[in-house]
Amino acid sequence: MLSTDTVLTTTPADRPSSATDTALRAPHRPIGGATLITLAVLAAIAPFGIDLYLSAFPAMTADLATTATGVQLSLTAFLVGAGLGQVVFGPWSDRVGRLAPLLTGLAVFLVASVVAMLAGSIEVLVAARLLQGIGGAAGMVIGRAMIVDREEGPRAARALNLMMMIGGIAPVIAPLTGSVLGGAIGWRGLLAIVGGVGAVAAILTLLFVRESLPREVRVARAAREPGGWRVLLSRTYVGNVLAFAFGMAIMMAYISASPFVYQDMVGLDALGYGIAFAINAVGLVAATGLAAFLARRISPRASALIGLGTSFAAVAVILILTVAGAPAAWLMVPLFFAIAPLGLVLGSTTALALSSVPHAATGSASAILGLLQFVLAGTVAGLVGVAGEHTALPLALTMFAAALLALLALAVGRERTVTPARVRRP
């Protein structure tokens, strides 16, 4: 049963209701399996663009006659582009509909992919990767908005979790694929695969994705609902967006620190590291599937609270073990229980955040959520390594702070309900 404290089961003041709500929403058509898979592939563009070619960095340094810093800049450019692209395509899709901006972003991504694959200098590669990130952001930001256009309440949370579960396979297979194929096809071949993922996404979009924000709905929204960035300042939206972002920060801190924790401190070889990383990723995907299953039984907020509470407890154990000087291998089990439960958090907080704003601002709301995700990812990646490669204390402190802030943000984002006052009888 859904609890009354979640924004998905109440009618906030900035949300229309009854007949007005019907006029402002696109006709309800449940998200089909093919559409959901397409949206998941769109969301997987970023993991493939980030993780697939990492193992080829040394070869790229030699081929392009550059430095390790120069090659690293190609990754940074993609991340910056992915963040900036969200604030471009999200608001644009609110104004003109979802499909045209989505196809434009995919076209930019495909052209940039060809340029990146053929780049003869590091400068050209960095510029192409920046455009790749901008174009690839369209699928991420618009995909979330399309689900909220078509679904609401527990259906939206379930669809978002299913999309994330399917798309969550990408971070598992991308690093392994890059390591296996890098020697045979080189870095240009790996970047060609990244472009191929974009091409598959474009074909699936043309086949299965239809406009979820028709013109008549946009006109009705513009006439009756507030627009602009100011509508994103509600406590409910800000709280749930921050809960999502800090939950994601827990995971990004782990991803950034995992190579030196598992290899330098625990002593695993490259294969052992890959297996350990994959186990945690599979746990995350499984928990995301569980969240989709539970969406019809408990509220998204309850799901997020269970996930964050479990993750916080595991992170506290990691911090205690680290301060006590326990063997690094002891961290492997609590790390699993810190990361896997985030599958209960990310889709649920996304649904809570996007459903708390006026319909007219859904794309903009999705853009801010995505931008904050990338900003915090870059921030925590720098924090976890500040003390070198032989201590997990920065990782433990960063994850603990992120988990605590996520829980506080979730509490701030709780939708308050108003209990009707009793009428005193004469």
**What is the structure's pLDDT at 19?**
42
**What is the structure's pLDDT at 28?**
52
Four-CA torsion 407, 408, 412, 417, nearest 10 degrees: 50
For the chain, the average pLDDT equals: 82
**What is the structure's pLDDT at 8?**
38
**What is the structure's pLDDT at 426?**
38
229-235 contacts, C-beta under 8 A, 24 or more apart:
229/364, 231/14, 231/357, 231/358, 231/360, 231/361, 232/357, 232/361, 232/364, 232/365, 232/368, 234/12, 234/14, 234/356, 234/357, 235/412, 235/413
Cβ–Cβ < 8 Å for 410, 233: no
Q: Report which of 28, 260, 33, 36 is spatially closest to residue 152, judged by C-alpha positions.
A: 28
Work out the number of other CB atoms within 10 angstroms of the CB of residue 13: 6
| Residue that has been written with the tokens 């506080």 in this structure | 408
Cβ–Cβ < 8 Å for 392, 257: yes
Q: What is the pLDDT of residues 367-385, one digit of tens each?
A: 888 888 888 877 887 787 7
Q: Report which of 93, 160, 224, 79 is spatially closest to residue 353, judged by C-alpha positions.
A: 160
Q: What is the pLDDT of residues 225-264, one digit of tens each?
A: 655 556 677 888 999 999 999 998 998 888 878 877 887 8
* 163/292 Cα distance (integer angstroms): 9
**What is the structure's pLDDT at 4?**
32
**What is the structure's pLDDT at 275?**
82
**What is the structure's pLDDT at 419?**
40
**Is residue 416 packed enough to be buried (19+ CB in 10 Å), middle (13-18) or exposed (0-12)?**
exposed
Cβ–Cβ < 8 Å for 236, 7: yes
**Is residue 129 packed enough to be buried (19+ CB in 10 Å), middle (13-18) or exposed (0-12)?**
buried
Fold of 7-12+29-412: Growth Hormone; Chain: A; (1.20.1250)
**What is the structure's pLDDT at 344?**
92
| Residue that has been written with the tokens 């699936």 in this structure | 204
* 205/253 Cα distance (integer angstroms): 33
Using 70 as the pLDDT threshold, list the residues of the chain that sit under it: 1-30, 153, 221-231, 270, 386-389, 416-426
Q: What is the pLDDT of residues 346-366, one digit of tens each?
A: 889 988 888 888 777 788 888
Q: What is the pLDDT of residues 4-34, one digit of tens each?
A: 333 333 333 334 443 444 444 555 566 778 8
**What is the structure's pLDDT at 318?**
96
